[in-house]
Amino acid sequence: MTSDAGYSELIEPYNIRLPHTPAVVVIPITTQHVQDAVVCAAQAKLKVQAKSGGHSYANFASGGKDGSMMISLSSFTDVSVDSAGIAKVGGGVRLGNMADALAAQGRALSHGTCPGVGIGGHATHGGYGHTSRNWGLAMDAIGKVDVVLANGTALTCSATQNSEIFWGVRGAADSLAIVTNFYLQTRPAPASVTYFEVQLNGVFNTKQTFTNTFLHLQDFARNASVVDSRISFGIYMDKYGSFSPSGAFFGSVSEFNTKIRPEFLRTLPAATNVIVQSYSWYDYLVKVSGRQTIKVPLTGYDEHDNFFAKSLTVPESSGLTSTALGSMYDHIKRGTSADYFIIVNLYGGPGSAINSKTTDFAAYNDRDSLWVVQNYGSTANSIDFINGLNNAVTSAQPQTQFGAYLNYVDPSLDAATAHRVYYGDAVYARLLRLKQQIDPQSVFWNPHAIGA
C-alpha cells in the first residue's frame, strides 16, 4: 500500500517526468499470486498493469494514471535453456541478465541494447536490436507464453494452443494479459560480430550536405549488391552536430572493408573516425550497451531520466524524401536549449528478417518500414522541439502513411491516434474483438489500451 516501506522506490518510474501513484503494488512470487491479484483488482474495480523492467516511456507500467494496481514481476527472473535451445525466461527478466545467462550457454537472441529494459514490454511490442535484420525482432523468437487473463485464468498460448491470444499478446500484451513466462527460440551465439562506426564531419554545415548524406545512406540501405540481412545500422544525431552511423555486420572485418565499406562511405563528408572491429558475441553486447557490464542488479535498479520522445516508422515504399529531410534540417537549425538526440534505425532493405513476416504472424503492424526514427528530448522544455521534429517530416511528406513504434510509446497521443499509428485499422479491429472476448471489463488498461 502507499504507506508501506519501500512503496516510493517501487513506483519510481524510469521517466521521472511522468510520475503516477498506484493504489497498490503487488509483488507476486508465484503464478497463483498473479491470478489472485488480477481477480482482486477486478472485484475492486481497479485497473491493472504489469511491470517487467519499468522502462515504459509513458510510465504505463504504473497504469498511466493514478489509482491502478501495479503488478511487479521482479520475482519472475529465472532463465533456463533446454536441449532444443528453447529459453524459458521469466516475465520480469531484464535484457542484460537474459543475454548474460544465454551467453554462458553459448546461445543468443535478438533484442535491444539497454541492459535494464524488461523482456515483458520489449518482446511483446517488437523488440528491435542491431541483430534484428538478420534474426528478426525479439517478438519473432517467441514460441509460446504462459499468461494470466483478466478473469484470473492461467493459460499457455502458442501457434497451436489458444492461438488468437498468442497472436494478440505479441503486440498488445499490456491490453490482454500478463505474461509470466516466455519460451524463446535461441540461436547459437556467433563466434564474432563486426562492429562499425563512422563519425562524419560537417554534415550540418549546409542543407544540401545533410540531405545528400542521408539520401546516400538511404540508397545504400536499398542496394542489394552490397546489403543483405547480415548488416544493420542506425544513424545517431544530436544538438552538438554529431552525425554518426554505426551498426553490426555478421561477417568478417575483411569482407566488410572489401565489399561494404567503399560503397557505404562513397560521397559522404570526411570522417573524423572510422572504426571497424571484430568482437566476440559477449564483448559486442557489452560494447553496444554503453556500459561496463550487461548484468543488472536484481534489486535496487535505479536508473532514471527526464524526457519526452516520439517516433516515426517510415514505409519502405517511400523512404524519406529530400523535401522531408530538408524540413528536418531547417527545424534542427532553428535550435533549442534542450538536449536531444535522433536515432534512425534501418528496419527494411534487402533480406530484412523484420519485414519477412506479416500481421497474420502477430499483432504487430511494423512489417514494412525502411527506417524507424526516434526523436528524444531531455527535460520537459524539449516537448515543443520534439513535436516539431516529427511534424517537420510528416508535413513535408503528406503523401506518406507514417506510423510509430510501440516501444517508444508517446504519452501525448490520444487513444484513437495511438491505435492508428501503432496498429493500423485492420490489426486494431482484430485486437478489439479479442479484447471484448477475454477482457470485456477492461481490467488491463492504460491510456492507449485496446478499447480505451
Which residues belong to CATH 3.40.462.20 in the chain?
A: 192-279+306-408
Which candidate, 175, 58, 61, 179, places its Cα nearest to that of 120? 179
Is the pLDDT assigned to residue 207 strictly greater than 70? yes
Is the pLDDT assigned to residue 381 strictly greater than 90? no
- pLDDT computed for residue 382 by the predictor: 95
> Which CATH class, in words, describes the domain spanning 192-279+306-408?
alpha beta
The whole-chain average pLDDT of the chain stands at 97
Average of pLDDT values for 114-140? 97
- Cα–Cα distances (Å) from 197 to 165, 321, 326, in that order, read 41, 25, 24
* Cα-based torsion angle of the residue sequence 51, 143, 406, 48 in order, rounded to the nearest 10 degrees: -30
Predicted confidence band at 380 (pLDDT cuts at 50, 70, 90)?
A: confident
Which residues belong to CATH 3.30.465.10 in the chain?
A: 79-189
* Cα-based torsion angle of the residue sequence 156, 157, 160, 165 in order, rounded to the nearest 10 degrees: 140
Predicted confidence band at 383 (pLDDT cuts at 50, 70, 90)?
A: very high
pLDDT digits (tens, 9 = 90+) for 260-284: 999 999 999 999 899 999 999 999 9
- For residues 402 and 178, give the distance between their C-alpha atoms in angstroms, rounded to a whole number: 30
C-alpha cell at 252: 568478417
Predicted confidence band at 4 (pLDDT cuts at 50, 70, 90)?
A: confident
Which candidate, 138, 114, 124, 107, places its Cα nearest to that of 180? 124
Is the pLDDT assigned to residue 1 strictly greater than 80? no
Predicted confidence band at 300 (pLDDT cuts at 50, 70, 90)?
A: confident
Predicted confidence band at 342 (pLDDT cuts at 50, 70, 90)?
A: very high
pTM, two decimals, is 0.97
C-alpha cell at 420: 492508428
Neighbours of 144 (CB within 10 A): 19
Neighbours of 47 (CB within 10 A): 22
Average of pLDDT values for 195-217? 98
- For residues 280 and 136, give the distance between their C-alpha atoms in angstroms, rounded to a whole number: 20
Is the pLDDT assigned to residue 402 strictly greater than 80? yes
Average of pLDDT values for 197-220? 98
User: Are the C-beta atoms of 312 and 394 separated by less than 8 Å?
Assistant: yes
Q: Where does residue 30 rank: exposed (0-12), middle (13-18), buried (19+ CB within 10 A)? A: exposed
C-alpha cell at 387: 513535436
User: Does domain 79-189 fall into CATH 3.30.465.10?
Assistant: yes
Is the pLDDT assigned to residue 379 strictly greater than 90? no
